[in-house]
Amino acid sequence: MIKNSAMPRTLHILTGPTAVGKTELALAWAEANDAEIVSCDSLLFYRGMDLGTAKPIAAERARVPHHLIDVCDVTETMDVARYTTMARAACADITARGHAVLVVGGSGFYLKSFLAPVADEVSVPPELRAAIAAKLASEGLPALVAELQALNPAGLSALDTANPRRVTRALERCRASGKTLTELAAEFARQPAPFAGWDVRCTRLDRAPADLDARITARVDAMLAGGLVAEVRRLRAAGLEKNPSAASAIGYRETLTMLDGALRESALAAEIAKNTRALVKKQRTWFRTQLPPHRVLDAATTDVKTLF
């Protein structure tokens, strides 16, 4: 049991692939250690996206206070800079009230905000963003690449010049700041991590492939039985497709495809499960290559007392 009287600035991070079993272990550990949970799942932000995200249900959230869940309408986009600001405020508040912090989730980009700088401080005016988007639409990607090359005579380093989103973002940042990509990269590298000074303890859960595959199948079946199709219909009516990040999430994009008649309803469960397994493969690669040294435990046999 962590003692409230001398609460350290410690981040306990529990991560692992989709369907590995983070929720129940997180709840049990939080209850045993007077902790509150900070979500690090890129889809739990959105109100109404419940079944397809396996969002903790009301009874689970009543057991332990949760933060950064249901903080956005489904049409409202979230970015890592905003998330980091909200996460820092939540963690500071939790520790100020004498409780431990347990960060839970498997979304790598947001998880990285607890470990390293993730966003620069370049502010792009809306009118500049609109002008560059208009140029992309009227003149095409080569015109943006050419302008970017003119602003970066030393080269574009490893920028993927075939990716319109990356080229657009790079040009926005160069024009807004008046600096080259090399200068911006150097400034970014000098930034302190958002949680510099915190003691970070990270544990990753995993399972044997056959075990995790079975859990994915069961999870998809439960989502559909619980009313995922009806949930997606409601969210579509509320403007889900105005938010590409939300609409393209696994479970939601396949259901939208089915509702549009491009996928048989009988094939929906298999399609969601297949794409979930592909996501798990990507998650595992990210965890192995991007996380700092950390513990890896088998979720099937882990004792909550030894989680950290």
Confidence label for 84 from pLDDT (cuts 50, 70 and 90): very high
pLDDT of residue 8: 60
Instruction: Encode pLDDT of 230-270 as tens digits.
Output: 999 999 999 999 998 899 999 999 999 999 999 999 999 99
pLDDT class for 79, splitting at 50, 70, 90?
confident
- What pLDDT shows up at residue 189? 81
259-281: b (≥16 Cβ within 10 Å) or e: eeeebeeeebbebbbebbbebbe
Q: Which fold has domain 4-117+194-306?
A: Rossmann fold (3.40.50)
Q: For residue range 137-174, what is the model confidence (pLDDT) as tens digits?
A: 999 999 999 999 999 999 998 899 998 988 998 999 99
pLDDT-based confidence at residue 123 (cuts at 50, 70, 90): confident
Positions of E strands within the chain: 10-15, 35-39, 66-67, 100-104, 199-206, 295-298
Of the pLDDT bands very low, low, confident and very high (cuts 50, 70, 90), residue 121 is confident
Is residue 120's pLDDT more than 80?
A: no
State residue 122's pLDDT score.
Answer: 84
* Lookup result for tokens 């990753």: 204
Q: Locate tokens 């996501």: which residue?
A: 279
| Residue 1 scores a pLDDT above 60 | no
DSSP assignment string, 120-161? --PPPPHHHHHHHHHHHHHH-HHHHHHHHHHH-TT--TT--T
Q: Which residue has the higher pLDDT, 141 or 6?
A: 141
- The answer to whether the beta carbons of residues 166 and 175 sit under 8 Å apart is no
Given its phi and psi angles, is residue 205 left (phi above 0), alpha (psi -120 to 50 degrees) or beta? Answer: beta
pLDDT digits (tens, 9 = 90+) for 35-68: 999 999 999 999 999 999 999 999 999 999 999 9
Percentage of the chain beyond pLDDT 70 is 97
Give the model's pLDDT for residue 193.
87
d(Cα 294, Cα 308) in Å, to the nearest integer? 10
Residue 6: pLDDT above 70?
Answer: no
Phi, psi for residue 230 in degrees, rounded to 5: -65, -40
Residue identified by tokens 């004792």 is 303
- Could you tell me where in the chain the CATH 1.10.20.140 domains are found? 126-189
Helix (H, G, I), strand (E, B) or coil at 295: strand
All CATH 3.40.50.300 domain ranges of the chain, comma separated, are 4-117+194-306
Say if residue 198's pLDDT is above 90. Answer: yes
Sheet hosting strand 66-67, strand order edge to edge: 66-67, 35-39, 100-104, 10-15, 199-206, 295-298
What's the N-to-C CA distance of the chain in angstroms? 12
Residue 226 has a CB neighbour count (10 Å cut-off) of 13
Q: What is the mean pLDDT of the chain?
A: 94
Q: What is the pLDDT of residue 192?
A: 85
The least confident of 2-11, 30-39, 60-69 is: 2-11
The encoded tokens of residue 115 equal: 């470990």
pLDDT of residue 4: 45
CATH of span 126-189 = 1.10.20.140
Computed from CA positions of residues 201, 43, 266, 281, in that sequence, does the dihedral angle turn out positive or negative? negative
DSSP label of 241: G
Please say if the pLDDT value at position 3 is more than 60.
no
